[in-house]
Amino acid sequence: MSDMPKISDAQETALKQFRKSVSDVINETHDDYFLLRWLRARKWDPEAAEEMLRASLKTRAMWNVDNLEKWDAPRALREYLPYGLIGYDNEGSPVIVCPFYNFDIWGMLHCVTRFDFQRYLVLLLERFMQAGYEQSKTHGPQARQLVVFFDMANFNLKQYAWRPAAECVLSTVKQYESNYPELLKMCYIVNAPKLFSVAFNFVKRFLDEYTMSKIKIYKNGSDKWKEPLFSHVDPNIFPKCFGGKYVDENGDPECKSKIIWGGKIPQDMFVEQGTEDNDKDYTETTINKGNKLKLEFYVDEKKQENLVLSWDFRTFDYDIKFGIYSIDKSSGENRSEVALGTVYSNEMDEVGFISTRPNTTYTVVFDNSHSYLRSKRLRYWVDLISDVDDITELSAQVQQTDIVEKNGA
């Protein structure tokens, strides 16, 4: 374990056990440093780490991560999501800056689906990780962690009071915690207004102790972040507009050659989600108060394993509960594929997908049984799709599968 962090004998034993238990799903790029990330995230419990890693690999397959670079991402994401990889710290770690205050999430979610938004973030994370991996060849494995700098000046909390925006942020945080453990080296949040603490207090409930220990928040106008940041990041590579010394060749202190600044998205870029270039055969129905709509899909045992169950729906005027459960025809085992919960599909189209297993029946549930006063008008499309690459509008809700009672759901 050259260049690896020092670990105790007990931790070394846990690492060996973990590597053996996941040997069927890892490859030559998954070295000890990679495995240690998952062990630390689960407090050195090999079984819990194995469960976490396997769930993440399943999620990566559903996101089709290996083919993300082939994806033609929407223009709004490419041109208006603020971020920039500006260089590397003194250990080779990628340094990312984000003028977060310039992020128009309301406009963004009127241009792209929530899934596409999250898929683009996954694409960026994978790029950052690859950059760190290349750096680690000369700087050692510590280069695989990321340094992130957020400028929160003039942070507008009002945007995040909009339910789809809040749900999108929380889903992003959960996805990060589940699939990128131990990735963060240090996060500096600067110029944080007083109201930022209100939003962050809610978000931090979904962050583990390790992640929280790496996040440092500095109030608006404070420059106390400079000393710790510049102790490992050369100010000569850091943009002058943020307090460093670097400027573009043309003298631009905002370094637009390296940073996408975002800004308010023009309304002519907004799309009516679910209508453009869409040949889906939608069904419209009304689910009466106190009732449910159940749709069943059977995956034959001879079908290919990459079959996915996809959905796209909207309700009019009111929310509805939505979930999916499955029954294995051989074992009789019931699973909750998507936990039944309220979705606010009256505010934005709800789109998503799950991978499927052969010889299994999947039941999609639209549940209005909790409503005793209102019937719900629903427009939906649900179908089995044979190729993940063909799915372009999917939900951010890629959830882990949990075992439920046989007579559940």
Reported as a single tens digit per residue, the pLDDT across 228-241 is 999 999 999 999 99
**Of the candidates 142, 154, 136, 151, which has an alpha carbon nearest to the alpha carbon of residue 244?**
151
Query: Where do the domains of the chain lie?
Result: 9-63, 67-269, 283-403
Reported as a single tens digit per residue, the pLDDT across 336-380 is 888 888 888 887 788 777 778 889 999 999 999 988 889 999 999
Equal fold, 9-63 vs 67-269 = no
pTM of the model: 0.74
Query: Does the pLDDT at position 209 exceed 70?
Result: yes
Residue 3 pLDDT level (bands cut at 50, 70, 90):
low
Query: Does the pLDDT at position 198 exceed 80?
Result: no
Residue 43 pLDDT level (bands cut at 50, 70, 90):
very high
Reported as a single tens digit per residue, the pLDDT across 85-141 is 999 999 999 999 999 999 999 999 889 888 889 889 999 999 999 999 999 999 999
Query: Does the pLDDT at position 407 exceed 60?
Result: no
**Of the candidates 204, 142, 196, 152, which has an alpha carbon nearest to the alpha carbon of residue 177?**
204
283-403: CATH architecture: Sandwich (2.60)
**Of the candidates 168, 165, 54, 89, which has an alpha carbon nearest to the alpha carbon of residue 121?**
168
What dotted CATH number matches 9-63?
1.10.8.20
Least confident of 32-41, 187-196, 390-399: 390-399
- Write out the two tokens for 259: 């940073």
Reported as a single tens digit per residue, the pLDDT across 261-314 is 999 999 999 885 544 445 678 999 999 999 999 999 999 877 555 678 888 899
Query: Does the pLDDT at position 69 exceed 60?
Result: yes
Reported as a single tens digit per residue, the pLDDT across 159-191 is 887 877 887 888 889 889 999 999 999 999 999
pLDDT at 35: 96
For residues 247 and 237, give the distance between their C-alpha atoms in angstroms, rounded to a whole number: 9
| First-to-final CA distance of the chain | 47
Query: Does the pLDDT at position 398 exceed 70?
Result: no
Q: How far is CA 67 from the centre of its chain?
A: 16
User: How many CB atoms are located within 10 Å of the residue 234 CB?
Assistant: 15
Reported as a single tens digit per residue, the pLDDT across 319-339 is 999 999 999 998 999 988 888
Compute the average pLDDT of residues 137-159. Answer: 91
The superfamily (CATH) of domain 67-269 is CRAL-TRIO lipid binding domain (3.40.525.10)
Mean pLDDT across the chain, nearest whole number?
Answer: 87
For residues 73 and 78, give the distance between their C-alpha atoms in angstroms, rounded to a whole number: 7
Phi, psi at 87, each rounded to 5°: 155, -155
Residue type, 389: D
pLDDT at 303: 57
